[in-house]
């Protein structure tokens, strides 16, 4: 296996290494997607996995129909409650840093692959920027506004 060295261009808010986000605490341990679903009130139809998610609840695999119903319910909820942020990991897998980006405002290129970017796509709607800022205020995610107001960042990830 090789090492991924991705270039990333995104519009968002840059955070120092070691910044603590609401989803870094237990029980989420860094899982921003699960945290967001809980913030939005997601309730699964039934418990599919055990607490470690290494096996099925009650050591019994549900039918394919039940599993499909479980994931369909989850997908519909996620479609109705998209997060107003995207977590961009950069630097390296050993020293991970984060940018909270406006969803859909991210471009990546893997080593050896050039990516065309239409400059018109670099215009970020004010409404989306406001959603990101309001999200940070609501969940008390503090950042130095002078240094890190939402803006374009070109960064890389080695991992």
Q: What is the pLDDT of residues 74-115, one digit of tens each?
A: 999 999 999 999 999 998 888 889 999 999 999 999 888 889
pLDDT of amino acid 111: 85
Residue 142 binned pLDDT confidence (cut-offs 50, 70, 90): confident
Distance between start and end Cα atoms, the chain: 11
pLDDT of 53 > 60? The answer is no
Residue 146 binned pLDDT confidence (cut-offs 50, 70, 90): low
pLDDT of 148 > 70? The answer is no
pLDDT of 34 > 90? The answer is yes
Q: Within 13 Å, how many C-alpha atoms sit on residue 100's CB side?
A: 28
Q: Does a cis peptide bond (omega within 30 degrees of 0) precede residue 32?
A: no
For Cα atoms 127, 120, 131, give the angle at the middle one, nearest 5 degrees. 15
- The answer to whether 129 touches 137, Cβ cutoff 8 Å, is no
Q: Are strands 86-92 and 96-109 parallel, antiparallel or unpaired?
A: antiparallel
For Cα atoms 15, 101, 80, give the angle at the middle one, nearest 5 degrees. 130
pLDDT of 54 > 60? The answer is no
Residues in Cβ contact with 139 at an 8 Å cutoff, skipping those fewer than 6 apart? 22, 39
């Amino acid at each position: 296996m090789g090492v991924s060295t991705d270039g990333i261009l995104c519009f968002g808010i840059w955070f120092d290494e070691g910044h603590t986000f609401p989803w870094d605490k237990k029980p989420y341990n860094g899982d921003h997607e699960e945290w967001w679903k809980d913030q939005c009130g997601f309730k699964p139809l039934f418990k599919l996995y055990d607490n470690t998610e290494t096996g099925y609840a009650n050591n019994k695999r549900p039918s394919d129909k039940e599993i499909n119903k479980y994931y369909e319910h989850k997908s519909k909820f996620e479609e109705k409650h998209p997060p107003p942020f995207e977590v961009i990991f950069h630097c390296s897998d050993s020293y991970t840093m984060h940018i909270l980006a406006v969803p859909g405002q991210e471009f990546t290129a893997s080593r050896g692959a050039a990516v065309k970017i239409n400059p018109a796509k670099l215009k970020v709607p004010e409404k989306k920027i406001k959603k990101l800022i309001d999200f940070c205020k609501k969940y008390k995610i503090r950042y130095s506004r002078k240094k890190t107001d939402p803006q374009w960042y070109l960064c890389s990830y080695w991992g």
